[in-house]
Amino acid sequence: MASTGEAIHRAALVKAFDESRTGVRGLVESGVSTVPDIFRHPDPYASVPLAPHGVSLPVVDLSLPAPLAAEAVAAAARGWGFFYLVNYGALVPSDYPGRLLAALRAFNELPAPERAAHYGRSTGGGFSYSSNLDLYKSGAASWRDTIQVMLGPSRADAGRIPAVCRGEILDWDAHAAAVARALMAMLCEGLGLGADTLEAASCLEGKMMASHYYPVCPEPERTMGIVPHTDPGVLTILAQDDIGGLQVKHTDEDGASYWVDAKPLPGALVINVGDLLQIMSNDKYKSVEHRVVMNLREEPRVSSAIFYNPGRRGDSVFYGPLPELISSENPPKYRNFTMAEFLGAFFKRDLASKALIEHFKI
């Protein structure tokens, strides 16, 4: 437990870092040769072993006949909560998501004064650029900077999005939505539900993009890119470059848990189930922990995730296990709640705290 003096000192360091307005990229530009204390994680990679050689996330091929693709999506969501998606070219132009990632890299590598003009923790206008969304709550900051853009139900003011990546962000929103719609239909079929069940519950309407930039790190063993966490929403679509660093916690049939490298697979998107879909499926699909470790290459990593959530909000709109899945043989494992309560519970915690779903268990 940190002393009061240590806490005050740390708070001052955090404030000074934040007020530099240039993020972790700014630290690298200043020539730091060690990881500053506020970014140091106590033994960050010791808790769970790495996966045995040859263990990898499942791959779902969207060019398969529709019933086979749907079966593969549901099996991956049940057994892993994560999968690679390949051959989705019928839904997305061939130059995406590559164009998006290149544009995001270009923004993060603008001269410091140009980036600083966009830096801030306010999400006014539906856009923010800062380092560590939980910077003032977490015990140790992570080595990344983030652009966050609200895409739905109301879209960010386009003028707030930096011009260098504005068009690509807005284009990717439309392309990724086509992928999300197809996946949600297949996930519904895997539960024995009508293909439009999740879409009818407005699960395609609430959308938030978080695009992360992980600068080269002088001491990669002392910090993390993102701490272990689960995603709160229904579904996440992740585009990543070829650098690597994402790891997924998997528990095998024998009950052994380990971290699996989600190594970049050329042309693949990474898809994962969020806490809300685990709840809505009454534990048929699972939301699992994942993290980003620091890469050893002398090159920064860029990724971009879109988190899909219900867009229908209000005090009279409740979410919980889908009624069609509940019976005397399969009683609800979670209580119902509003999205205001759900998101309130998420934002009150730091990213690394216990999975959100525990808060709603019956």
Domains and CATH numbers, the chain: 61-153+162-360 (2.60.120.330)
Count of all residues that appear for the chain in the document? 362
Say which amino acid occupies 95: D
pLDDT at residue 1 above 60? no
87: CB partners within 8 A, 6+ apart:
61, 62, 63, 267
pLDDT at residue 80 above 60? yes
Two tokens at 30?
A: 């200043």
pLDDT at residue 305 above 80? yes
Residue 46 has a pLDDT of: 74
Residue with tokens 């988190």: 307
Structural contact between residues 249 and 233, judged by C-beta atoms closer than 8 angstroms: no
**Separation CA 244–CA 295 (nearest Å):** 7
pLDDT at residue 2 above 80? no
* pLDDT tens-place string over residues 157-210: 999 999 999 999 999 999 999 999 999 999 999 999 999 999 999 999 999 999
Residue 352 has a pLDDT of: 61
pLDDT at residue 350 above 70? no
Residue 47 has a pLDDT of: 74
Residue 124 has a pLDDT of: 86
Residue 295: band (very low, low, confident or very high) from pLDDT cuts 50, 70, 90: confident
pLDDT at residue 279 above 90? yes
Q: Which of 37, 24, 52, 42 is nearest to 225 (CA)?
A: 24
**Separation CA 268–CA 62 (nearest Å):** 11
The DSSP annotation for 202-226 comes to TTTTEEEEEEEEE---S-GGG--SE
> What's the whole-number average pLDDT of the chain?
95
**Separation CA 325–CA 306 (nearest Å):** 27
Two tokens at 236?
A: 């996440």
pLDDT at residue 156 above 60? yes
For residues 336, 338, 339, 340, the Cα torsion angle rounded to the nearest 10 degrees is: -140
**Separation CA 75–CA 80 (nearest Å):** 8
Residue 349 has a pLDDT of: 66
Question: What is the pTM assigned to this prediction?
Answer: 0.96
